[in-house]
Structure 1
């Protein structure tokens, strides 16, 4: 039977990057940690580390064991937190990171199912750059990150990207901007003031290619890393706003905007990035299960 104490020692050493550093953090002697890992390897019949010079490097099997260890001890931490919350009558926290390129209205649509669980949770949202949020996810300060792109392959973060759904992209404008345009869509975009998502937005590239393929030449009057700020400029009449069709009805109703048309083939995809290979967190699972239905309902409303 697996010895979880030995597994925890292995997990600590792997996360610390070496026995000496793990020893300093835990207060255990290096010989103790080394002996515990050797005993674990012997009991499982595997090699978890190999030595490269003075460094210990995980073997392929070691990396697989570490993935499982991450899930095991994360779940243990969640269990402990849930028990403490129940004992004190507090709702368990659900910590979410939302990349600033994800429209706020879409983040709400995706997160809403987590607020209707039988065991209520207190949702804690953090917004920011994807790289920073993934760093917090890696050290378990967040339970999940919502993004418009999967986990970047060049980031040294163990995580898994779960597709939640996608939305087509439409073009919206205030009444004043719409009245100033000439011709039908998409030709009316020629010379039109256009707002663009920033360089980090996954949809920016496909959107620019669509404009290029259609030989459309709008005037780019603003670029925005934050989707909410870009929307505010669009509603204020600064330019044509490309936005997910999923929130089109809201733009038309609350922003008083007009829908010009849609960019065929250009979509924005939404992901839940977690440290879990198989989703077990009840709130994250609720989001994943409900997202395709919620997004499909929004898309149907647009049609």
Structure 2
């Protein structure tokens, strides 16, 4: 049986990155803590750490163990809270994975209605690559994953991709950039400095094909996995950047940028991925309903 004291020691060392620092937090001698970690590794039959200079780094097995340890102690905290507050209304966690290429504003628009349900939920958001989130979904660490593409067919994971909808694209830029480009869209994109989504984004390839088809040749000056970071660079005048049409007014207001033009020829799509063939979780249904109000149904390619 797993020794939970050893698991607690391991998690503390993993977070601290060093035996001495973790020993101070645990009020143990470093030699004692080091021995406990060695005993835990021997019990599991794998190395959880490797030394890198003065720090300890997690091995692949260590990263896996830390993920489980975080979940175990999180559930333990929930249990303690539930037992101490049995008379209070029970708040159920709604664990959502958000693919790191999904714009933050889109994630907010879709998830906010889940917080207004009659039965209260506590929203737990985790951001990562789609592949990692799908793996967590398959072992029920997540209730749903928001993504800009369906579950990849080459992944050996049982899950179902539920289309939420699609929208066109707006091109935004700081006023200093937009003023120099003129009003003639999309020709004003030609030779313009352009910020584009990173390689993992489903929008990237259609965007580049659209530009090529129109014989437009902007200068790509930056690639970003994080849409908020791309918007921040756009605000600073680094270049023109694309955003989903449904979030364009909010982005323009938040980042003080203006619109050069918009197109429906490029479509950004969004999906809810779940282990259910038919959606039944109340919070997931709330997300699906919010999507119907904001997006158009997916059109065939």
Q: TM-score with structure 2 length normalisation?
A: 0.68
Displacement of 1:262 in angstroms is: 1.3
SS class of match (1:215): coil
Displacement of 1:229 in angstroms is: 1.2
SS class of match (1:179): helix
| CA distance in 1 between partners of 2:193 and 2:170 (Å) | 15
Residue in 2 aligned with 1:218?
218
Q: Which moved more, 1:207-216 or 1:257-266?
A: 257-266
Displacement of 1:295 in angstroms is: 3.4
- Tell whether 2:282 aligns with 1:287: no
Displacement of 1:183 in angstroms is: 6.0
Residue in 2 aligned with 1:153?
153
Equivalent residue runs for 1:21-36 within 5 Å: none
RMSD: 2.0
SS class of match (1:216): coil
SS class of match (2:295): helix
- Tell whether 2:227 aligns with 1:233: no
After superposition, what is the alpha-carbon deviation per residue over 1:103-125, rounded to whole angstroms, capped at 9, x for unaligned?
10110110111111110100000
After superposition, what is the alpha-carbon deviation per residue over 1:133-182, rounded to whole angstroms, capped at 9, x for unaligned?
11111111100000000000011110000111111101001001112225
Indicate if the aligned counterparts of 1:210 and 1:263 stay in contact, CA closer than 8 A.
no
Residue in 1 aligned with 2:250?
250
Residue in 2 aligned with 1:168?
168
Q: How many residues are aligned here?
A: 216
Displacement of 1:88 in angstroms is: 6.0
Indicate if the aligned counterparts of 1:279 and 1:285 stay in contact, CA closer than 8 A.
yes
Structure 1 residue runs without a partner (length 5+): 1-80, 297-303
After superposition, what is the alpha-carbon deviation per residue over 1:28-71, rounded to whole angstroms, capped at 9, x for unaligned?
xxxxxxxxxxxxxxxxxxxxxxxxxxxxxxxxxxxxxxxxxxxx
SS class of match (2:172): strand
Displacement of 1:294 in angstroms is: 3.2
Equivalent residue runs for 1:199-210 within 5 Å: 199-210=199-210
Q: Which moved more, 1:281-290 or 1:144-153?
A: 281-290
Q: Which moved more, 1:163-172 or 1:215-224?
A: 163-172
Equivalent residue runs for 1:65-214 within 5 Å: 87=86, 89=88, 90-182=90-182, 184-214=184-214
Displacement of 1:291 in angstroms is: 1.4
| CA distance in 1 between partners of 2:230 and 2:179 (Å) | 20
SS class of match (1:106): helix
Residue in 2 aligned with 1:263?
263
Q: TM-score with structure 1 length normalisation?
A: 0.68
SS class of match (1:229): helix
Structure 1 segments, 4+ long, off by >2 Å, are 84-90
Indicate if the aligned counterparts of 1:95 and 1:125 stay in contact, CA closer than 8 A.
yes
After superposition, what is the alpha-carbon deviation per residue over 1:258-294, rounded to whole angstroms, capped at 9, x for unaligned?
1111133111011000000111111111111231113
Structure 2 residue runs without a partner (length 5+): 1-78, 297-301
Residues 175, 119 of structure 1: alpha-carbon distance in 2 compared, 3 angstrom cutoff: same
Indicate if the aligned counterparts of 1:182 and 1:188 stay in contact, CA closer than 8 A.
yes
